[in-house]
Amino acid sequence: TLVESLVAMALLSVVALALVGVMRSIAQTETRLDARVASADEMRATASLLKRIVERVVIAPRSGPVGAVPDAKQFDGNAQALIWTGIMPAGYGVSGKHRFLLRSEVLQEGTSLVLRFAPAEDLDKTPDWSLADSRVLVKGLVGWRIDYLDDRREPPGVQESWPTSNSLPARLVLHIQTAAGNWPDLVLPVREVSAPMAPSGPFVAGGRE
């Protein structure tokens, strides 16, 4: 009858609405899972690259004349930026001794944590970072900070900057906040290695801690 048909249509409408709601919920859940997986992959890649570079910091003799005042420190850091000389791992570009700059930059896709690097041809001069190669480490950056851990203090202390390039902190701690949430703190041991003979190249000799 007409009444039965109307009841059946109403029931079908309710079932269809329920199915639409379930499908929308599944799609939203999948999107959130994809975002979390992408964030975890970004976190692992960033931590791996920084760990491999920071574990191979170079404090090399100056190349300029004796008594000349250099315009660049080999290791110079504050809460918002870090410049250092290190060894670029194979597989990330041209390997060998490089100057690195880690800082936040405003790019087309928004604020990001960027690693810039240039061959360390002259340790007494600061590279032109606008011409240096770069790698975006973290997208959607909301805030970040570097802490420098000095184990030579008793008790071990945390500093917001590193004032000298003649010695290195024991560890760096990176605090990173993104639009997707806060990252776990990245703790990076800092180790010194012997400088390679050439400023850049495919081979790197072993070093010392």
Q: How confident is the model at residue 68, as a pLDDT?
A: 45
143 vs 70: CA distance, rounded Å: 32
3-class SS of residue 162: strand
Q: What are the φ/ψ torsions at residue 27 (nearest 5 degrees)?
A: -65, -40
pLDDT band for position 69 (50/70/90)?
very low
Averaged confidence pLDDT in the chain = 78
Percent of the chain predicted with pLDDT > 70? 76
Residue with the larger pLDDT of the pair 155 and 136: 136
Of 127, 111, 113, which is closest to residue 74 (Cα–Cα)?
127
Q: How confident is the model at residue 63, as a pLDDT?
A: 56
Lowest mean pLDDT among 78-87, 136-145, 191-200: 191-200
Lowest mean pLDDT among 28-37, 163-172, 175-184, 188-197: 28-37
Which residues lie across from 158 on neighbouring strands?
149
pLDDT band for position 199 (50/70/90)?
very low
Residue 120 buriedness (CB in 10 A; 0-12 / 13-18 / 19+)? buried
Q: How confident is the model at residue 60, as a pLDDT?
A: 65
Does residue 155 have a cis peptide bond before it, meaning omega lies within 30 degrees of 0? yes
Contact 100, 132 (CB under 8 A): no
pLDDT band for position 78 (50/70/90)?
very high
